[in-house]
C-alpha cells in the first residue's frame, strides 16, 4: 500500500508527496491543520490542504523572508511578524542579538501549538524571551500601532481564507502607519507562474506601491510551493534593497545561512522578463 | 400532514423528491432542467436548474396553495407567530402592496410616516388611497428621519377618525422603531388596522433582546424581507397576517398582480431559511448582534465616526433601536456617508448597503464573519487617516415636511409635462424622486416641489447619491402637473 499526499496546485495541476504516516489531522476555529511525515521532505504542515512548510525546504523561505531586510538595515530593533505561527521566521530573527523585540501575531493558536509539538526544529525559538505571541487578527493588531516597528514581516497564507485580510489596501496602509520612518515591510508575495497566484501577486504589488516610495520584488526557489517559483515583496519608506545593502556589516555578523548570502541578495531582485511585465502591466489597472 | 414540525421544509422536500423521480418534463420552463441552456447551466449549476420548475400537482401552486406550499406557509406562520403567511416572490414590495391594497379602497385614508419605502406610495397609486402623513421627526445631529411618536399617531387618529389603517416601519432602514405596541393599541381602539413594513426586521422574530416584532405586538399585517437578513434568495419575502384579517381576501388581492409562474428557487429558499431560523435563529442572531456590537465599539474607537445604537432611545420617536444594524454617522470627518460608501467600494473592495448625506449603513447578517468585520473597521480607520477633511460646511438639513396637494393616484394620472428640474419650484410633482438605496422618496406624486427640496436634491447629486425615480434617467428633468 502506498499513501500519497496530493495538493491541487491549479485546477489542472497536481503535486504529490509520498507519505510515511499522517501525524495529525485537526480542525481549528479557522482552518484544517494536518501534519504528515514523508521520506523526501520529512515532516510537513498543511493548512486547508496547502503545504505551509516542510522540514526539508523551509530554510529557503525563512532565510529569504528574514535576512534580506536584515542585511539592508542591520540596526533593526523592533520587529512585527504577522502570521508565521510555525515559528520559522521568529527562529531566524532571534539569531540577531541586536533585535530587541519580536511581536508575533498569529490568528490561529492551534498552528503554534501544533508546530511546537510536531515541528520543534522550526518552532523551537518561539520561547525566546524577546518573542511575544499575540493570538489575534493581524489586520486588527496593526490598526492601533503607530511608529512602533523597524520591520514588519507578513508571513501569511494565501489571500483566500484567513489570510485574505493581509492582502488588502487597508492592511498595507495600516502597516505603513505602524512602521517608523526607516521602516521596511516584507511580505510573502505569491507566485508569478500560475494565473490565480499571479493575479494575487499583481494586486498586492499595486496596493503596496500606493503607500511605499520604495517597492521591489525578489524571488526564491521553494520546491514545495506551487510552481516552485516564489516571490517576496520588499517595500520601505527609505531604504533601497540594493543601494542600501550593508553586505560587509551583515557578513561580519558571521551568521551561517544555507540559502541566503549577500551575493544572492544582489541577484534575487533580478526578475525574469515575464515577471517584470506582470508587475509593470498593472499600471493602467 | 399534521405531523409537520419546524424541522420540515415541505417545498424543499417535494423538490428533492421531484428530482429523484427523474420526471420527463413536457412542461415549461423550456430549458428542461437545464439541458436546453448549457451556458446558463454551467453558470448556475445543474442542481439549481434541475429544480427551476413550474407548478404541478406534487409541487402545489403559489396562486392557489393546497399542498406543499400551503404546508410550508403554515410552518412559516408558526415560526413568525402569525395566523397566516404568504410566500411572496416579487419582493417585499409586493407584500407591501398586498397589505395596502387588501385594506384600503379608493379614497380611503391611511396614516403613515413619510419615510416609507417607495412601494408604499406605489400601493397608494394602485389603490387610490389617501395618505395622512405623520412627521417622523429628525435627529438633528445624525440627519436621519426617526419613528412616529405615539402621541402624533394619536393626534392623527383623532383628526382622521375615518382612516382605515395605520402603517409603520418596524424598524426604519436605520434601525429605529416606534412604540409599536402602543400605536397598535391606539389604532385598534379606533377600529383601524395596523400594517407593518418589516423589510428590515426578520431577525426580530428569532433573536433575543430584539425590538418587538409586529406579529407579537398584535399588528394585523406585516411584510418581512426574508432575503434581507434571513438568508433567503433576493426577491423572496413573506407576508404575515394576524387573526383579524381574512387570508382568502388577501390571497385574492395578491393574485391581482402576482405571477402565475412563481419561482420554486425563491420559494424553496424561503422554506429552507425559515427552517434554519426556526431551529437556529437564536444562535445565529446572537452572533450577528455580537459582531455588530464589536464593530460598533471598534469604529467608535477610531474617532471621527459615530456608530450609533441604543443610546439614542428616547421612549418616543426612537422607542427602540435594532442593534444589529451598523449605522455610522460620518459628517464629523468632513465626509458625507455616500462618500465613505463610494471610497469603501472603489478603494477597498467593500460594498456597503447604502450611504446618504450624513451616514452609511452596513448590514450584518447570518452570513458575516469576524474576518470581514476587521476589514471594514481597518478600512474605515484608513479612510479617516488619509481622507478626512474639515467638517465645516457639511450639509445639515431639517426634516422637510411634504406638502401634499393631491392624492398620489390622482397626481400620477393627471396631465403632466416635463420641465428642467431647476425650473420646477412651486410646481406639483408628478413622479418620484429618491435616492436608492434606501428608496425612500424625496418627492412623491402630488407633492409640492419647494426650493428646500431642490437644494437637497442638488446636494445629494453632488455628493454622488444614486438618484432614481424620474422618467428622465439623468434626473435633469422632472414631470410636473399641468397648471
d(CA A91, CA B315): 59
User: What torsion do the CA atoms of A274, A280, A282, A283 make, to the nearest 10 degrees?
Assistant: -160
CA angle A107/A110/A113 to nearest 5° reads 120
Q: What are residue B84's DSSP bridge partners?
A: B241
Q: First-to-last CA distance in chain A?
A: 51
pLDDT at residue A281 tops 80:
no
Q: Does B386 touch chain A (CB under 8 A)?
A: yes
Q: What pLDDT sits at residue A245?
A: 97
Average pLDDT on B348-376 reads 91
Average pLDDT of span B220-228: 96
CB nearest A170 (choices: B298, B371, B375)? B375
pLDDT tens for B45-95 read 999 999 999 999 999 999 999 999 999 999 999 999 999 999 999 999 999
CATH class of the B10-278 domain in this structure: alpha beta
Give the separation between CA B335 and CA B384, rounded to whole angstroms: 9
Confidence band for B323, pLDDT divided at 50, 70 and 90? very high
Which residue intervals of chain B bear CATH 3.90.105.10? 408-481
Residues 6+ apart with CB under 8 A from B394: B331, B334, B336, B358
Q: What is the CATH class of B408-481?
A: alpha beta
Grid-cell match 428633468, residue found: B477
SS3 (DSSP) at B237: strand
How far is B361 from B373, CA to CA, in rounded Å? 13
Residue range B435-452: average pLDDT? 86
CB contacts of A143 in chain B (<8 Å) are: 377-378, 381
Helix residue ranges, H only, chain A: 58-72, 88-93, 109-118, 120-123, 138-143, 169-178, 195-209, 247-252, 262-268, 273-280
Query: Touching check for A143 and chain B: CB below 8 Å?
Result: yes
Determine the pLDDT at residue A1: 84
Nearest to B370 among A137, A168, A174 (CB): A137
Which residues in chain A are closer than 8 Å to B340, comparing Cβ atoms?
none
- Asked if pLDDT for residue B396 goes beyond 70, the answer is no
Give the pLDDT mean for A5-21: 95
Question: Which of residues 176 through 215 in chain A touch B, CB cutoff 8 A?
Answer: 177
The residue among B126, B144, B84, B170 whose CA lies nearest residue B308 is B144
Instruction: State the smallest CA–CA distance between residue A105 and chain B in angstroms.
Output: 15
Work out the percent of chain B whose per-residue pLDDT is above 90. 82
Model confidence at B272: pLDDT above 80:
yes
Is it the case that residue B462 has pLDDT exceeding 90? no
Q: pLDDT value at position B169? A: 96
Instruction: Please indicate whether, in this complex, the C-beta atoms of A137 and B377 are within 8 angstroms of each other.
Output: no
User: What is the model's pLDDT at position B474?
Assistant: 87
Q: Provide CATH 3.40.50.150 ranges for chain A.
A: 58-280
Task: Dump pLDDT digits (tens) for A35-94.
Answer: 999 999 999 999 999 999 999 999 999 999 999 999 999 999 999 999 989 999 999 999
Structure-block grid coordinates of residue B136: 417622523
* B378: chain A residues, CB-CB within 8 Å: 139-140, 143, 165, 168, 170-171, 174
The 8-class DSSP code of residue B390 comes to -
φ, ψ of residue B131 in degrees (nearest 5): -85, 140
B378 at interface of A, judged by CB pairs closer than 8 A: yes
| Integer CA distances (angstroms), A275 to A160, A222, A279, B408, B423, in order | 22, 17, 6, 63, 58
Mutate to test the interface with B, among A29, A48, A147, A173 (most CBs of B within 10 A): A173
Q: Do B386 and A177 touch (CB under 8 A)?
A: no
Determine the residue of chain B that is closest to A107 in CA distance. B371
The CATH number given to A58-280 is 3.40.50.150
Q: How close B419 gets to chain A, by Cα (Å)?
A: 41
Top residue of B378, B381, B383, B384 to mutate, by most chain A CBs within 10 Å, is B378
Residue scoring higher pLDDT (A182 or B138)? A182
Domain with CATH 3.40.640.10 in chain B: 10-278
Residues of chain B within CATH 3.90.1150.10 domain(s) are: 283-387
Q: What is the mean pLDDT of residues B164-191?
A: 96
Nearest to B308 by CA among B148, B174, B475, B160: B174
- A283: pLDDT strictly greater than 60: no
Beta carbons of B394 and B331 less than 8 angstroms apart:
yes
pLDDT digit string, tens, across residues B62-75: 999 999 999 999 99
Residue of B348, B370, B371 lying closest to A170 (CB–CB): B348
Q: Residue A18: how many CB atoms within 10 A of its CB?
A: 13
Residue B398: the pLDDT is: 64
Q: Which long-range contacts (CB under 8 A, 24 or more apart) does A48-56 make?
A: A48/A157, A48/A161, A49/A7, A49/A8, A50/A7, A50/A157, A50/A158, A51/A7, A51/A224, A51/A225, A52/A86, A52/A157, A53/A86, A53/A88, A53/A119, A53/A122, A54/A224, A55/A119, A55/A121, A55/A122
In chain A, ranges of CATH 2.30.140.10 domains: 3-53
pLDDT given for residue B322 in this prediction? 96
pLDDT at residue B118 is higher than 50: yes
Contact B326, B362 (CB under 8 A): yes
Give the nearest chain B residue to A138 (CA atoms). B374
| B283-387 CATH | 3.90.1150.10
Q: What is the pLDDT of residue A84?
A: 84
Q: Is the pLDDT of residue B1 over 70?
A: no
Closest residue in chain A to residue B303, using alpha carbons only: A144
**Torsions phi, psi for B471 (to 5 deg):** -60, -40
Per-residue pLDDT at A282: 59
Nearest to B8 by CA among B79, B66, B60, B56: B79
The closest CB to that of B382, out of A137, A140, A170, belongs to: A170
Q: Where are the beta strands (DSSP E) in B343-411?
A: 354-355, 359-363
Once rounded to an integer, what is the mean pLDDT over residues A249-274?
A: 97
**DSSP code of residue B207:** S
The number of residues making up chain A comes to 285
A168/B375 Cβ within 8 A: yes
pLDDT reading at A199 higher than 70: yes
pLDDT-based confidence at residue B397 (cuts at 50, 70, 90): low
Instruction: With CB atoms and an 8 Å threshold, state whether A168 touches B349.
Output: yes
Residue A97 has φ and ψ, to the nearest 5°, of -65, -25
- Average pLDDT rounded to a whole number, residues B132-137: 90
Chain B positions touching A173 (Cβ under 8 A) are 382, 385-386
Above 80 in pLDDT, residue B483? no
Instruction: Compute the mean pLDDT over every residue in chain B, rounded to the nearest whole number.
Output: 93
Residue B35 C-beta-side C-alpha neighbours within 13 Å: 6
Q: Name the grid cell of B3.
A: 405531523
Rounded distance between C-alpha atoms, residue B448 and residue B406, angstroms = 9
- Between β-strands B221-224 and B193-198, what pairing exists: parallel, antiparallel or unpaired? parallel
Whether A164 and chain B come into contact, CB under 8 Å, resolves to yes
Please check whether the domain covering A3-53 is classified as CATH 3.40.50.300.
no
Q: What would the mean pLDDT of B268-295 be, rounded to a whole number?
A: 96
Of A137, A169, A173, which has the smallest distance from its Cβ to B374's Cβ?
A137
Nearest-CA distance A225 → chain B (Å):
25
Tell me whether B365 touches chain A (CB under 8 Å). Answer: no
pLDDT of residue A284: 40
Q: Which residues of A are catalytic?
A: 155
- Burial tier of A269 (Cβ tally within 10 Å: 0-12, 13-18, 19+): middle
Q: Do A143 and B386 touch (CB under 8 A)?
A: no
Mean pLDDT of B102-106: 96
| pLDDT confidence band for A285 (50 / 70 / 90) | very low
Amino acid at each position: 500500500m502506498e499513501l500519497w499526499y496530493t495538493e491541487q496546485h491549479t485546477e489542472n495541476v497536481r503535486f504529490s508527496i509520498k507519505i510515511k504516516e499522517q501525524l495529525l489531522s485537526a480542525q481549528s476555529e479557522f482552518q484544517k491543520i494536518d501534519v504528515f511525515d514523508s521520506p523526501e521532505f520529512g515532516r510537513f504542515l498543511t493548512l486547508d490542504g496547502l503545504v505551509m512548510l516542510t522540514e526539508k525546504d523551509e530554510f529557503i523561505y525563512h532565510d529569504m523572508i528574514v535576512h534580506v531586510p536584515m542585511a539592508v538595515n542591520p540596526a533593526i530593533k523592533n520587529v512585527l511578524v504577522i502570521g508565521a505561527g510555525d515559528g520559522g521566521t521568529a527562529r531566524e530573527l532571534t539569531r540577531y542579538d541586536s533585535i530587541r523585540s519580536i511581536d508575533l501575531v498569529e490568528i490561529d493558536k492551534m498552528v503554534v501549538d501544533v508546530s511546537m509539538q510536531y515541528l520543534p526544529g522550526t518552532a523551537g525559538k518561539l520561547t525566546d524571551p524577546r518573542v511575544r505571541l499575540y493570538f489575534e487578527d493581524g489586520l486588527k493588531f496593526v490598526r492601533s500601532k503607530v511608529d512602533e516597528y523597524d520591520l514588519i514581516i507578513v508571513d501569511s497564507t494565501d489571500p483566500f481564507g484567513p489570510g485574505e485580510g493581509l492582502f488588502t489596501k487597508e492592511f498595507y496602509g495600516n502597516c505603513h502607519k505602524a512602521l517608523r520612518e526607516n521602516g521596511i515591510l516584507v511580505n510573502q508575495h505569491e507566485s508569478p507562474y500560475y494565473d490565480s497566484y499571479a493575479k494575487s501577486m499583481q494586486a498586492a504589488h499595486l496596493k503596496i506601491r500606493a503607500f511605499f516610495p520604495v517597492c521591489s520584488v525578489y524571488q526564491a526557489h521553494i520546491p514545495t510551493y506551487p510552481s516552485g517559483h516564489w516571490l517576496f515583496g520588499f517595500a520601505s519608506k527609505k531604504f533601497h534593497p540594493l543601494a542600501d545593502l550593508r553586505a560587509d556589516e551583515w557578513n561580519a555578523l558571521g551568521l551561517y545561512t544555507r540559502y541566503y548570502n549577500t551575493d544572492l541578495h544582489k541577484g534575487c531582485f533580478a526578475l525574469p522578463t515575464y515577471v517584470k511585465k506582470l508587475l509593470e502591466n498593472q499600471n493602467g489597472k | 400532514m399534521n405531523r409537520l414540525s419546524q424541522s420540515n421544509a415541505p417545498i424543499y422536500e417535494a423538490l428533492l423528491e421531484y428530482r429523484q423521480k427523474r420526471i420527463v418534463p413536457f412542461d415549461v420552463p423550456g430549458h428542461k432542467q437545464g439541458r436546453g441552456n448549457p451556458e446558463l447551466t454551467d453558470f448556475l449549476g445543474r442542481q439549481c436548474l434541475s429544480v427551476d420548475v413550474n407548478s404541478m400537482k406534487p409541487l402545489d401552486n403559489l396562486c392557489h396553495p393546497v399542498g406543499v406550499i400551503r404546508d410550508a406557509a403554515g410552518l412559516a406562520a408558526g415560526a413568525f407567530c402569525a395566523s397566516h403567511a404568504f410566500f411572496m416572490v416579487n419582493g417585499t414590495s409586493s407584500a407591501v402592496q398586498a397589505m395596502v391594497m387588501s385594506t384600503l379602497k379608493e379614497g380611503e385614508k391611511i396614516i403613515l410616516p413619510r419615510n416609507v419605502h417607495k412601494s408604499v406610495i406605489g400601493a397608494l397609486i394602485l389603490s387610490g388611497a389617501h395618505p395622512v402623513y405623520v412627521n417622523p421627526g429628525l435627529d438633528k445631529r445624525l440627519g436621519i428621519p426617526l419613528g412616529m411618536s405615539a402621541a402624533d399617531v394619536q393626534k392623527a387618529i383623532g383628526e382622521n377618525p375615518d382612516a382605515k389603517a395605520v402603517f409603520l416601519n418596524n424598524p426604519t432602514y436605520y434601525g429605529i422603531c416606534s412604540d409599536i405596541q402602543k400605536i397598535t393599541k391606539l389604532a385598534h381602539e379606533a377600529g383601524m388596522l395596523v400594517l407593518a413594513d418589516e423589510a428590515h426586521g426578520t431577525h426580530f422574530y428569532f433573536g433575543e433582546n430584539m425590538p418587538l416584532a409586529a406579529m407579537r405586538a398584535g399588528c394585523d399585517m406585516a411584510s418581512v424581507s426574508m432575503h434581507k437578513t434571513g438568508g433567503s434568495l433576493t426577491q423572496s419575502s413573506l407576508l404575515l397576517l394576524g387573526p383579524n384579517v381574512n387570508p382568502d381576501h388577501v390571497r385574492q388581492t395578491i393574485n391581482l398582480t402576482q405571477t402565475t409562474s412563481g419561482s420554486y428557487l425563491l420559494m424553496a429558499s424561503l422554506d429552507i431559511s425559515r427552517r434554519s431560523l426556526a431551529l437556529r435563529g437564536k444562535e445565529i442572531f446572537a452572533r450577528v448582534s455580537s459582531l455588530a456590537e464589536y464593530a460598533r465599539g471598534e469604529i467608535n474607537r477610531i474617532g471621527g465616526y459615530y456608530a450609533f445604537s441604543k443610546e439614542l432611545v428616547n421612549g418616543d420617536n426612537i422607542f427602540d433601536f435594532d442593534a444589529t444594524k451598523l449605522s455610522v454617522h460620518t459628517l464629523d470627518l468632513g465626509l458625507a456617508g455616500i462618500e465613505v460608501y463610494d471610497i469603501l467600494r472603489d478603494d477597498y473592495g467593500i460594498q456597503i448597503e447604502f450611504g446618504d448625506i450624513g451616514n452609511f449603513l452596513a448590514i450584518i447578517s447570518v452570513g458575516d464573519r469576524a474576518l470581514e468585520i476587521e476589514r471594514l473597521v481597518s478600512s474605515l480607520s484608513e479612510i479617516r487617516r488619509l481622507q478626512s477633511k474639515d467638517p465645516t460646511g457639511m450639509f445639515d438639513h431639517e426634516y422637510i415636511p411634504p406638502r401634499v396637494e393631491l392624492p398620489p393616484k390622482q397626481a400620477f394620472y393627471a396631465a403632466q409635462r416635463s420641465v428642467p428640474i431647476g425650473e420646477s419650484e412651486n410646481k406639483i410633482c408628478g413622479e418620484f424622486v429618491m435616492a436608492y438605496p434606501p428608496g425612500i422618496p424625496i418627492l412623491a406624486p402630488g407633492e409640492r416641489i419647494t426650493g428646500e427640496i431642490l437644494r437637497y436634491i442638488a446636494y445629494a447629486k453632488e455628493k454622488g447619491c444614486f438618484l432614481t425615480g424620474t422618467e428622465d434617467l439623468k434626473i435633469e428633468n422632472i414631470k410636473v402637473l399641468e397648471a
